[in-house]
Structure 1
């Protein structure tokens, strides 16, 4: 079943939970947050439930508005949204030197859009790790349609305790996924553990930048909006992420906010004043049509009760991301390339920010 149209969106809302459970799931999810930061301790201790509820509710909206790749990318002038997403995935593959015969791990793989593109580009075997049943089932549909079922596969598991043996993979990457972790050093340590010695981990992360002031009420409100709308327990700073990579054992080869490299910012698709045929759903007109159509479907009980509430918290996320990007206090494209030393005693040479 296609998830790209508005009717497909309504039909698939709720992910792996029944339509009757959507409203209850929304209420439980919203209890983890409020616009003043929510109960951070509760989000940390219940991160599995938080993230699963979020993606059960939000995945169909993501696919409707974003396609099969749930991440940001900077854009060159004249480059379409879809082209920028694919180029960003190619960048990850090239940083890792992926090629035929290698085994790579996609940590927090979503429904598998990046996994498919990177597998096609590199001919490497890609395993996607995900803890959400609906996203895995959707991902299996996509890799089957792409003819990649022999080259790609999915493993269900928590990235804080992966069901994977030590020293398994030739490369690993996380595309704006480990921001969901309650303990960033803990998830990096798990990636370090399953990576073979001498091999590379490409991290693409959501972070607060050096411009973020934790004593600034406006900054805190923006951070809280992003956390509410995106299923995040807490957003770390760029420096915290780099330090956590080092503390996990990685040699940091380089770290950079990729947003600095592009004339068109990563947050442009969320700007309702920016008109684009390739991301029409994100424009002011597209949002108006989607909101009206979804409201009608929920009123007619075609879409489950609670659908508009999901749409509203996703709009909160969009507004928070746009404000955070414009203020320069948040980046959706912070990149770190790390290497697991050949030997545990090998001296690490860390690339500071």
Structure 2
């Protein structure tokens, strides 16, 4: 299957360009949202925070833990984790626009002493061995040009007994090769794996699987809710970016969720670095 591999500089440029609109749509969150069903009327922004809570719970974070948010986006998940658990969080992203927006968000929340952000590539992390108690990887590994290299870096910067929390898309068994290849081509995704495939990658990197949940129908399967949320901010998007930009946003979301949730899933998982 052909894959389009996007390097960190190009990925950073893409996120630089999309950061402002993403922030307007989903308040500092770049990942998807979780609803309990069609009748669940929770706003997009709060439904996204449910994903952050799920992965933080899976990691069993505690006050004083040192957490790396690898692919921190616009910064809200790191702030939520720090506030809820008392952890110290360092977020990294290849987008300077995201670093700037996230840093401003932390300052506005009075959290700049506990949460900081910097531009860095997770394939070559600028941290010493055993610097962190946990790593968050929320919809970031799917973009990794070299997934094995990233996981080796996670293993290196984690202390023995530390954990990685994965939140990412999965390929379900019903997916046809053609549909998955089209999904790759449209989004430039590098690592679209089955849940067993993700587990295999982590175990090969020296991690032990501790927990996993497949929640695709409540996340990727709620496509109409994302489009509804976009329509709810239409006036703001048009006023700031123009009607063409809004049409691109809604059209992009419609195309993104066109493939059904029995073909593309969504997993939350935790993996541990052995103590010895």
| Range class of TM-score, shorter chain | 0.7 to 0.9
Q: What is aligned with 1:51?
A: 11
2:17 is aligned with 1:82: no
User: Is contact 1:124-1:151 (8 Å) kept?
Assistant: yes
C-alpha distance 161-289 of structure 1, shift in aligned 2 (>3 A): closer
* 1:323 aligned residue (237, 244, 258): 258
Shift of 1:235: 2.8
Taking the aligned partners of 2:245 and 2:205, their CA distance within structure 1 comes to 38
C-alpha distance 71-263 of structure 1, shift in aligned 2 (>3 A): closer
Which secondary structure does the structure 2 equivalent of 1:323 belong to? coil
Q: What is aligned with 1:269?
A: 225
Taking the aligned partners of 1:65 and 1:234, their CA distance within structure 2 comes to 26
C-alpha distance 121-323 of structure 1, shift in aligned 2 (>3 A): same
2:125 is aligned with 1:171: no
2:101 is aligned with 1:138: yes
Taking the aligned partners of 1:267 and 1:208, their CA distance within structure 2 comes to 17
Shift of 1:309: 7.1
Which secondary structure does the structure 1 equivalent of 2:134 belong to? strand
Taking the aligned partners of 1:199 and 1:60, their CA distance within structure 2 comes to 34
Q: What is aligned with 2:148?
A: 185
Per-residue CA deviations over 1:157-214 (Å, capped at 9, x if unaligned) read 1101111111111111111111110122221221111111011111001232222221
User: Is contact 1:119-1:126 (8 Å) kept?
Assistant: yes
Taking the aligned partners of 1:132 and 1:264, their CA distance within structure 2 comes to 25
Question: Which consecutive unaligned segments of at least 5 residues does structure 1 have?
Answer: 1-36, 297-307, 344-353
C-alpha distance 289-93 of structure 1, shift in aligned 2 (>3 A): closer
Q: What is aligned with 2:111?
A: 148
Q: What is aligned with 1:336?
A: 269
Which secondary structure does the structure 1 equivalent of 2:29 belong to? coil
Taking the aligned partners of 1:199 and 1:339, their CA distance within structure 2 comes to 6
When the two structures are aligned, how many residues end up with a matched partner? 273
Which secondary structure does the structure 1 equivalent of 2:116 belong to? strand
User: Is contact 2:172-2:263 (8 Å) kept?
Assistant: yes
**TM-score for the superposition, normalised by structure 1:** 0.70
Taking the aligned partners of 2:161 and 2:242, their CA distance within structure 1 comes to 53
Per-residue CA deviations over 1:111-134 (Å, capped at 9, x if unaligned) read 211001111111111111112111
Q: What is aligned with 1:304?
A: none
Taking the aligned partners of 1:111 and 1:83, their CA distance within structure 2 comes to 15
C-alpha distance 249-213 of structure 1, shift in aligned 2 (>3 A): same
Which secondary structure does the structure 2 equivalent of 1:147 belong to? coil
Aligned CA-pair RMSD: 2.7
**TM-score for the superposition, normalised by structure 2:** 0.87
* 2:206 aligned residue (229, 249, 259): 249
C-alpha distance 319-50 of structure 1, shift in aligned 2 (>3 A): farther
Q: What is aligned with 1:226?
A: 187
C-alpha distance 113-263 of structure 1, shift in aligned 2 (>3 A): closer
Shift of 1:156: 2.2
Which secondary structure does the structure 1 equivalent of 2:256 belong to? helix
Which secondary structure does the structure 2 equivalent of 1:64 belong to? helix
